[in-house]
Amino acid sequence: MTDRDSHHDDASPDEDRRQSGTSWRESSLRSDGGTEAAGADEAVLDPWGSSTVEDYRKLFDQFGIEEFDDVLPKVPNPHYLMRRGVIFGHRDYDPVADAMHNDDPFASLSGFMPTGDPHIGHKMVFDEIIWHQQQGADAYALIADLEAHAARELSWSEIDEHARSYVLSLLALGFDPEEGELYRQSDNRQLQDLAFELGAETNFSELQAIYDFDGETDVSHMQSVVTQMADILYPQLEEPKPTVIPVGPDQDPHMRLARDLAARMRYFGVTEAFASFEADAAERTLLRRAYDAREEYAEDPAMPRCVEAADWLRAHEPAPADARESVAAKLDNAGKEPIRPRTRILDRNATEAAFEALIEAVDGEKRVYDEHVDAFDLDRAEADELAREVELENGGYGFLPPSSIYHRFMTGLTGGKMSSSIPASHISLLDDPEDGYDKVKSATTGGRTTAEEQREKGGKADECPVYELYAYLLSGDDDDFAEEVYEECVGGERLCGGCKEQAAELMETFLEEHQEKRAEWEEKLDELDIDLDSARKRA
């Protein structure tokens, strides 16, 4: 039996999958996107928009998001969302995985904008925070009430109502408030002080370029961006540590800005150098090649001169011409200065006392300049650790660049994007269990036109919102069950009517159990160290 919005392709997906040699994990939850929402925008990342991402693989090329599959083998006891490819990408998750593996301190944080009831799409983020907490992370969950008021214009009474609901669901799903921290942006003075400091490193033209702000944008909206940057760095206020922010890919602009600000707030930067002059990344690559080739051109290979390296580069490096000519000119100006590898520690924002302390702390051979120190006996990792130690001892933050992981958007039960404004497209965690059952029973599927065709060609699990429910939620940690549902679907053994009936029953049970746990936490909510009734009176 089939459902509305069925598809009519002639080729059998099961046959195609067998012929290509792909497995259930590769086919059903592949990292390049899986289900593509109808009408999705093409690789548009807007933190406040309504766009989905048509092809997740474009994010790897266009925005530098890395494939999570590459780091997955380093993750101890990975969450099922990681194993199934729902978490498809990351930025710099390796330090978090290393900290997890080595039992070193690390943190996880995500925020929730209280603009409506929490639904099953939000549950993914709740689960990711809770899983990291269970792996040993210092876990932080925040209510982004300043953002909700500034960017979505919600009243404080509406924010209070929704914030309470988000917190209850987070707790019911397993967040440990005694081991983690819950806070509201508006009540956290440390956060606001950090936002003020970050604001000094941010300007309007930058926000305009990233978020398309213009002359009509409220100042409070711009302030809310800086507050979010402070949220992302907040877990490192007591000590620098790897920190992961689980988000959807539409939030990546925030992560890129936060990583930039983390670097700007540092007292020192560390890079590679070969002479007293400054060089950019492309120039340093050419300098490395020239140094490595010193046996070919230097009168004394133990002491190759900059002018000798310049002549060699012009003769042996045809491209890129602009970088070659730029670095050759710098080498000419340096004359007979030796070209020699060293680690350079740059003064970015250091106080005079901190820079003096750095000079004192660098052991071995060194050269001291007005705005940097060249160390010849430290590698880059050692120099970075030393610079951070000096910074912390002299009142700096020493931030590590925050990491992020990205999960796929859930498809709405009616097709297209899951949206809080379309009740039939999503299941609220507050829905009556019977209503949740009915919504699943009414959902669009990837089934064929007739039962006979379904048995012959198999269903399209990759395009089925109901199968997503199994993969994202209903199968829980049981990969075998998720695989069984998939294989039966694409093999033609499972028909949509029975599949939806099973999913509807599982959803009804989940909602019943979840709401029972919410009721238990409701009685203990006043004991938590978070004020869910705002003192702000303005509507």
Please name which of 97, 49, 51 lies closest in space to residue 74, comparing C-alpha atoms. 97
For the entire predicted model, the pTM comes to 0.86
Is residue 337 within 8 Å of 367, Cβ to Cβ?
no
Q: Residue 401 and residue 93: Cα distance in Å, rounded?
A: 10
- pLDDT of 79 reads 97
Is residue 426 within 8 Å of 420, Cβ to Cβ?
yes
Per-residue pLDDT of the chain (539 residues; tens, 9 = 90+): 333 333 333 333 344 443 333 444 544 443 333 333 333 344 444 444 444 556 667 776 777 899 999 999 999 999 999 999 999 999 999 999 999 999 999 999 999 988 889 999 899 999 999 999 999 999 999 999 999 888 888 889 999 999 999 999 999 999 999 999 999 999 999 999 999 999 999 999 999 998 888 888 889 988 999 999 999 999 999 999 999 999 988 889 999 999 999 999 999 999 999 999 999 999 999 999 999 999 999 999 999 999 999 999 999 988 788 889 999 999 999 999 999 999 999 999 999 999 999 999 999 999 999 999 999 999 999 999 999 999 999 999 999 999 999 999 888 898 877 777 778 888 999 999 999 999 999 999 988 888 999 899 999 998 899 999 999 999 999 999 999 999 999 999 999 999 999 999 999 999 999 999 999 999 999 888 888 888 775 54
- pLDDT of 54 reads 60
Is residue 372 within 8 Å of 347, Cβ to Cβ?
yes
DSSP E strands in 180-224: the ranges are 181-184
Is residue 191 within 8 Å of 227, Cβ to Cβ?
yes
Q: Residue 47 and residue 54: Cα distance in Å, rounded?
A: 16
In sign, the C-alpha dihedral spanning 227, 228, 229, 232 is: positive
